[in-house]
Amino acid sequence: MKRLFTSPSARAWLIVAAIVLVAKVFAQTDPLPSWNDGSAKKAIVEFVRVTTTDGSPTFVPAPERIATFDQDGTLWVEHPMYTQVIYCLDRVPAVVKARPELANVEPFKTVLTGDLEAIAKLSMPELEKVLTATLTGMPVDTFSAEVNKWIAQAKNPRWRRPYTELTYQPMQEVLSYLRSNGYRTYIVTGGGQDFVREYSARVYGIAPEQVVGTAGGTQFGYDKHGRPFLTKEPKLLLNDNDAGKAEGIHLMIGRRPYAAFGNSTGDRQMLEYTGAGGGARLMMLVLHDDATREYAYGPATGLPETKVGAFTPALYDEAKAKGWTVVSMKNDWKRIFQFDR
Amino acid sequence: MKRLFTSPSARAWLIVAAIVLVAKVFAQTDPLPSWNDGSAKKAIVEFVRVTTTDGSPTFVPAPERIATFDQDGTLWVEHPMYTQVIYCLDRVPAVVKARPELANVEPFKTVLTGDLEAIAKLSMPELEKVLTATLTGMPVDTFSAEVNKWIAQAKNPRWRRPYTELTYQPMQEVLSYLRSNGYRTYIVTGGGQDFVREYSARVYGIAPEQVVGTAGGTQFGYDKHGRPFLTKEPKLLLNDNDAGKAEGIHLMIGRRPYAAFGNSTGDRQMLEYTGAGGGARLMMLVLHDDATREYAYGPATGLPETKVGAFTPALYDEAKAKGWTVVSMKNDWKRIFQFDR
């Protein structure tokens, strides 16, 4: 035996064999270490196996491997308020400074008081006025700079950490696991497309062009030096919620996903659209039932309804009827955040 | 020397060296064999060199390597009529069969006569009625099936070949060359996004999600079995021409291209937007000046203006002033089509 492995050609083959072996060992380490063993974890691993193993009857060619993820409440914390809404509220003083006539106009007047209880009571149309004033009307590059500045310094008051650290480690593992198996991962969010694109690559490893979100129009124009630039307009092109998520996927990707992940009624149509395709598909809903480590909310938890992330009993019933996987944060996740011990 | 190469470790290194050598030889073969030597070819090769060579002051990190291509007149023949318009005209009999009340209504009445001269005189609003009737109002999957059926059998009358064979071989080489250097290639077309996505992967090696085009809304709904589907609506979301190309790039990609290729005033803002970025950028315009092998048209050629592909003297002047490269089909291209000898 010893002689065999010292012959030149055998040596060369040994090197190849060693490389293959190392690759296999890596492949066999648990790709989802933050998940407890259970039906949810099993469903993910099984989905990857049957869609990526050569010869599987439900094999999916690599170019068609698309997985879509809601962001708020699915990839990171959304409670008690969407991060982007906090950004918009934080921007109000600067907007009022530039446009002083807004100081005594609602809802800006209320926002300026900083009274969180009163702010939480703002109606949807009032909130939309805040979003329009803080997300539109400026050059695309100005908006980009403002978001990046805010994201770098803003902290979540409960965890006293940057919002970008409040992503769910188990979902980060799902993103990596799918990508390492040839899936392209997309964010499909009700949040602003331009907002999420500013940090998606760094935070989730998802390139800006793989972020689909609520999107407004831009207006092409020239500055005084004749240099072209785009201005963010208050014209809604895509409301990427509910049916808008399926429509947005068609518009921005043009392929039906094989896997879709959400956590609320706003993700229902995206999961239905995904599930209506042939072959093996994976539909998952994250249930916020962990009041200790994160939050517990939504009717399906038996806890009081909240403004964000409604996981209704009807959605729960549909998930059960259609074989979608409901992920219990409490039971399925060993840890919630990367910084958890 | 002989002994050296027979020792086991030397053999292993020899294999590695051979692989590197083969890779280098491949890299040194001409990536643009259908281009004549000249300033246009040189500009492309130089752009790739300075943006992809480690240590170059204008090096572009791989994720930012985006190149955008107009389709009609830039990647394939657009004269005397856009291929998609021919598709729409060809669809009219089927539409009228399903909706007989249109038979005596203009512009459908004229289209049904098959009188090409009369059809060519249809006004833009009349043409839009034909586009709306043939491109919207059906499920997305039905549209997809109709386009694929047509594309498989329709032939261009001059070349008697499928339209999908009428792509410019020199531009196909640019697409491949850029991709082999880490660029992601996008089509940014005034044509219908859903239309071009049906064949872009097969014809250009460009995935559907990398096609940006004129796009309408879709409407999510359920069939009688409760299965969700999308219907193409006559609601315009993105007119991907002129300023709309820069706006569409922001909406659909979210990054400024490093290279942009067009052939008409409809591509002007895309090239301006590309050129306004820092570092090395490549802006190219294809000039149709080859009446023998393809067509010669547009004011900059000194030939009569046509309905499609207006390359105006103003655009020519802007290209010269800004250092954009004007590609002469006659002088810069050794051959036009893959099937040319």
| Statement: residue A13 has pLDDT above 70 | no
pLDDT at A25 exceeding the cut of 90: no
Give residue A1's pLDDT band: very low, low, confident or very high (50, 70, 90): very low
- Which residue in chain A has the smallest CA separation from B250? A218
Q: Do B193 and A254 touch (CB under 8 A)?
A: yes
Confidence of residue B16 (pLDDT cuts 50, 70, 90): low
3-state secondary structure A168-215: EHHHHHHHHHHHHCCCEEEEEEEEEHHHHHCCHHHHHCCCHHHEEEEE
The confidence score (pLDDT) of residue A120 equals: 87
What does the pLDDT average to over A281-304? 89
What are the CB-based long-range contacts (under 8 Å, 24+) for B86-93? Answer: B86/B154, B86/B163, B87/B134, B87/B147, B87/B150, B87/B154, B87/B195, B88/B130, B88/B131, B88/B134, B88/B135, B89/B119, B89/B130, B90/B150, B90/B154, B91/B134, B91/B146, B91/B150, B92/B130, B92/B133, B92/B134
What is the pLDDT at residue A302? 76
Q: Is A66 helix (H, G, I), strand (E, B) or coil?
A: strand
Kindly identify which residue of chain B lies nearest to residue A227, measuring between CA atoms.
B276
pLDDT at position A299 is: 79
Q: What count of residues does chain A have? A: 341
Backbone CA torsion sign across B123, B126, B130, B131: positive
What pLDDT does A226 receive? Answer: 94
In this predicted structure, the answer to whether residue B127 has a pLDDT above a threshold of 80 is yes
Cβ-based contacts of A252 with chain B (< 8 Å): 209, 252
B217 closest CA partner among B145, B147, B136 = B136
Token readout for A296 is: 């517990």
Task: With beta carbons under 8 A apart, name residues in chain B contacting A220.
Answer: 243-244, 246-247, 269, 273
Q: How far away is chain B from the Cα of A215, in angstroms, using its nearest Cα? A: 7
Measured between CA atoms, the residue of chain B closest to residue A193 is B251
Query: For chain A, what is the mean pLDDT?
Result: 92
Fill in the amino acid letter for B194.
D
Residue type, A277: G
Strands B259-262 and B66-69: what pairing? parallel
H or E element that contains B325: strand B325-328
Categorize the per-residue pLDDT at A15 as very low, low, confident or very high, splitting at 50, 70 and 90: low
| Residues shown for chain B | 341
Contacts of B194 in chain A (CB under 8 A): 254
Quote the CA–CA distance of B75 and B172 in Å, as a whole number. Answer: 7
Count of other CB atoms within 10 angstroms of residue A87: 21
Distance in angstroms (rounded) separating the CA atoms of residues B213 and B192: 5
Contact A276 B228 (CB under 8 A): yes
Q: Is B313 helix (H, G, I), strand (E, B) or coil?
A: helix
Burial code (b: 16+ CB inside 10 Å, e: under 16) for A284-315 equals bbbbbbbeeebbbbbbbbeeeebebbbbeeeb
Distance from chain centroid for Cα A33: 20
Which chain A residues are closer than 8 Å to B244 by Cβ?
Answer: 220
Q: How far apart are CA A272 and CA B223, in angstroms?
A: 13
State the average pLDDT over residues A279-304. 90
Provide the residue type at A280 as one letter: A
Counting other chains too, the contacts that A292-301 makes at CB distance below 8 Å and 24 or more residues apart are A293/A329, A293/A330, A293/A335, A293/A336, A293/A340, A294/A77, A294/A79, A294/A329, A294/A336, A295/A77, A295/A79, A295/A80, A297/A79, A298/A264
pLDDT at B213: 98
**A12 with B15: Cβ contact below 8 A:** yes
Tally of CB atoms within 10 A around A56:
13
Select from B206, B223, B250 the residue whose CB has the most chain A CBs within 10 Å, as the one to mutate to test that interface.
B250
pLDDT score, position B341: 76
The answer to whether B239 and B212 have CB atoms below 8 angstroms apart is no
Distances (CA, A) of A253 to A184, B201, B253: 11, 13, 11
> Is the pLDDT at B5 greater than 60, yes or no?
no
**Contact assignment for B229 to A276 by CB distance below 8 Å:** yes
Compute the mean pLDDT over every residue in chain B, rounded to the nearest whole number.
Answer: 92
CB-CB under 8 Å, B269 with A228: yes
Cis peptide preceding A80, ω within 30 of 0: yes
**pLDDT at A5 exceeding the cut of 60:** no
Which of A1-10, B69-78, B98-107, B297-306 is least confident? A1-10
pLDDT bin (cut points 50, 70, 90) of residue B76 is very high
| Residue A53 pLDDT | 98
What ranges make up the beta strands (E) of B37-183?
Answer: 66-69, 155-156, 161-162
Q: Could you give the maximum distance between any two Cα atoms of chain B, in Å?
A: 89
Find, in chain A, the residue whose alpha carbon is nearest to that of B184: A209
Give the predicted TM-score (pTM) of the model: 0.91
Residues of A with CB under 8 A from a CB of B: 6-9, 11-12, 15, 63, 140, 193-194, 197, 201, 207-209, 211, 215, 217-220, 227-230, 237-238, 243-244, 246-247, 250-255, 269, 272-273, 276
Instruction: For residue B250, give the nearest of A11, A201, A218 by CB distance.
Output: A218
Q: What is the mean pLDDT of residues A13-20?
A: 64
Identity of the amino acid at A151:
I
Instruction: Identify the band that residue A325 occupies on the pLDDT scale cut at 50, 70 and 90.
Output: very high
Give me the residue from A227, A255, A272 closest to B208, CB to CB.
A255
Instruction: Supply the DSSP symbol for B49.
Output: H
pLDDT at B120: 87
> Which segment of B153-162, B180-189, B292-301 scores lowest on mean pLDDT?
B292-301
Please tell me which residue of chain A has the smallest CA distance to B11: A8
DSSP state of B198: T
Nearest chain B Cα distance for residue A334, angstroms:
33
Best interface-test mutation with A: which of B16, B136, B218, B317 has the largest number of A CBs within 10 A? B218
Task: Give B214→chain A minimum CA distance, Å.
Answer: 10
Mutate to test the interface with B, among A247, A249, A318 (most CBs of B within 10 A): A247
Strand, helix or coil for residue B318: helix
Q: Closest partner residue to B227 among A63, A217, A276, by Cβ? A: A276
Q: Count chain A–chain B contacts defined by CB atoms under 8 A.
A: 101
DSSP state of B304: P
Task: Please tell me the distance from the alpha carbon of residue A217 to that of residue A25, in angstroms, as a whole number.
Answer: 49
Check B12 against A7: CB less than 8 A apart.
no
What is the average pLDDT across A256-268?
97
pLDDT at A300: 77
Residues A295-319 have pLDDT tens digits of 998 877 777 666 666 889 899 999 9
Q: What is the ipTM of this complex?
A: 0.91
Q: What percent of chain B has pLDDT over 90?
A: 84
Question: Per-residue confidence at A12, pLDDT binned at 50, 70, 90?
Answer: low
CB contact under 8 A, A220 and B6: no
Q: How many CB atoms lie within 10 A of CB B118?
A: 13
Task: Give dist(CA A255, CA A243) in Å, integer.
Answer: 16
Q: How close is the nearest chain B Cα to the Cα of A205, in Å?
A: 11
State pLDDT tens for residues A152-163: 999 999 999 999
What is the reported pLDDT for A8? 60
Supply the DSSP symbol for B82. Answer: -
Q: Which of A12, A230, A246 sits opposite B12 (nearest CB)?
A: A12
Which strands form A211-222's sheet, in the order they lie side by side?
A228-238, A211-222, A184-192, A66-69, A259-262, A282-287, A325-328
Quick one: average pLDDT of B249-253?
A: 98
Q: Which residues of B touch A11 (CB under 8 A)?
A: 8-9, 11-12
Task: Name which residue leads in pLDDT, A19 or B133.
Answer: B133
Instruction: Assess contact for A335 and A169: CB atoms under 8 A.
Output: yes
Mean pLDDT, residues A112-118 taken together: 92
Among chain B residues, CA nearest to A195: B254
Q: What percent of chain B has pLDDT over 70?
A: 90
Give the confidence band of A207 by pLDDT, cuts at 50, 70, 90: very high
Average of per-residue pLDDT across B300-315? 76
**pLDDT interval class at B1 (50, 70, 90):** very low
The pLDDT of residue A298 is 82
Instruction: Test A227 with B276 for CB contact under 8 angstroms.
Output: yes
DSSP B229: E
pLDDT tier at B102 (50, 70, 90 boundaries)?
Answer: very high
Contact in structure between A260 and A282 (CB atoms under 8 Å): yes
